[in-house]
Chain A
Amino acid sequence: MSFDIVLTVNGTRRTIPIPDPRVTLLDLLRESLHLTGAKKGCDRGQCGACTVLVDGRRINSCLALAASLDGAEILTIEGLAEGDRLHPVQEAFITHDGFQCGFCTPGQIMSAVGLIREAQAGDDPERVREAMSGNLCRCGAYAGITEAVLEAQKALSQNAPTTRQGEAA
């Protein structure tokens, strides 16, 4: 059973054939669209290397059925920079050595972008660590990642103040 879905991927609306309903969003991105930034680490929702934003929210793309996301907006690591100008989160990961081998980094960065949009962690490193616990880093770059998230969040709030969601929770 083959059918098409429509996704807006990194700002571009695309009609994409689904050859088999078993295809996950991760496999669709990597195999059909050749966007290989999102990584297949565990493929079971445990490592976070496949994290992308769907309709502005970070999720594990390995546990999302592509067919079910018909009509969604997807943002991957490939869509983050503007030309040669890196996104503030990307800049901050470089500044703070937020990676070593780099395999988990696209997922870490997309998760950090999602975390900042969620606006629940504030400037508390403990809350940032907790909110990043779905992204594993086998190189152990966690200290730099936490610093990078905090700095990027500060930079983004200075550049473009966003409406903060309720912090009651």
Chain B
Amino acid sequence: MIPFEYVRATDVAGAVAAGAAPGAAYLAAGTNLLDLMKGGVARPTRLVDITRLPGLAAVERRDDGGVRIGALARNSDLAHDPAFAEAYPAVAEALLSGASAQLRNAATAAGNVMQRTRCAYFTDPGSACNKRRPGSGCDAIGGETRLHAILGWSEACIATHPSDFCVPLVALDAGVEIAGPAGTRLVPLESFHRLPGTTPERETVLEPGELITALVLPPEAAAFAGHSRYLKVRDRTSYAFAVVSAAAALRLEGGRIAEARLALGGVALKPWRSRDAEGLLAGRAPDAAAFREAADAALAGARPSGDNAFKIELSRRLAVRALTAAAAGTPARLPALPGSVLAPAPEAAHV
């Protein structure tokens, strides 16, 4: 870890001013950032500690029925907030399917959105990586690509975004509230992360100094509470990143799908929402044929970036399974192994 200047921010304006300097990075829990700094992957020369910014840890219900998740809300606090988990069960399930209890106790909501890819070539300073060092090449291409992208990748970068939390959030139309030198703006989570293209070093739409202050779920998001699931295929049942994950949410009316939401994780450099799949499901009966058509649509543009063609069919099958589980109803209590495709879930109706 290289030496850095430690700055403790006391208000958002001060944080933004301190964070706009070249080489500055924001520090919340640091569960990802410190790890990358120890490995020489992240090399900030100034850390702006935002953990004491007032009011940013709150989860606030809004009068319009939406919810504002403070940037500093801890993963475990959010997942175990009874009202939040009841209204957005797939978000709670995604949170609890990720990392370990210790990490969830520390890691923050905005930190989750800002976490870096776990591409082994990105985290190894000895490997070429266009994201870490623009123009140096990509050693992942032609390397070990089991966990790499099948959607939205480029010749410059085939990494994936590792978040579980972001997958149901993007399905539920979450917004990212950003404070910056020019004021506050709200960006849809769906367009917050950038696909790699020719500039994989530009990971998000954040400009220098800009700071996430909250994530916002619109009032409509709670309408899916009764039929929502997050499922995650991983190489071990707990404490592992997704090979592929899927968030499915349905609003059923009179035995038909009034509205569907579907997003995939572990497939691209951003949480991948499929509006094509959602459009196909609207008005259909919630049956296997409809779900398979939707899954086919979601993966229509997929192509392997290496030895990972298996992820395309795996993603289709997981999408079908998540939609099927969502149609069966949100479990009254989260399964013992959240997000697990191996766990037998007693599918009691949620509402």
Interface residues of A (CB under 8 A from B): 1, 20-22, 24, 43-45, 48, 51, 57-60, 63-65, 67-68, 111, 114-115, 118, 120, 124, 126-127, 129-135, 165-169
Contacts and interface: CB of A to CB of B under 8 A. Distances in A.
Interface of B: 1, 3-6, 8, 27, 29-31, 34-35, 38-39, 47, 49, 51, 76, 79-82, 85-86, 92, 96, 99-103, 105-106, 238-239, 333-334, 336-338
Contact of A168 (B1, B31, B47, B82): B82
A167 to B, nearest CB: 7
Contact of B38 (A43, A48, A129): A43
11 contacts: A44-B38, A45-B35, A45-B103, A48-B100, A63-B106, A64-B29, A65-B49, A131-B101, A133-B100, A166-B80, A167-B333
Nearest to B30: A65
A132 B336 CA distance: 12
Given A130-B238, A166-B80, 9 more contacts: A21-B6, A21-B47, A24-B34, A64-B106, A65-B6, A114-B101, A115-B101, A131-B101, A133-B100
Contacts of A20: 3
Nearest to A24: B34
B82 A111 contact: no
Contacts of B96: 169
B109 to A, nearest CB: 15
A169 B81 contact: yes
Ranked 8 nearest A-B pairs via Cβ: A134-B100, A21-B6, A168-B82, A133-B238, A126-B336, A166-B82, A169-B85, A133-B239
Contacts of A167: 333
A130 to B, nearest CB: 5
Contacts of B86: 168
A169 B92 contact: yes
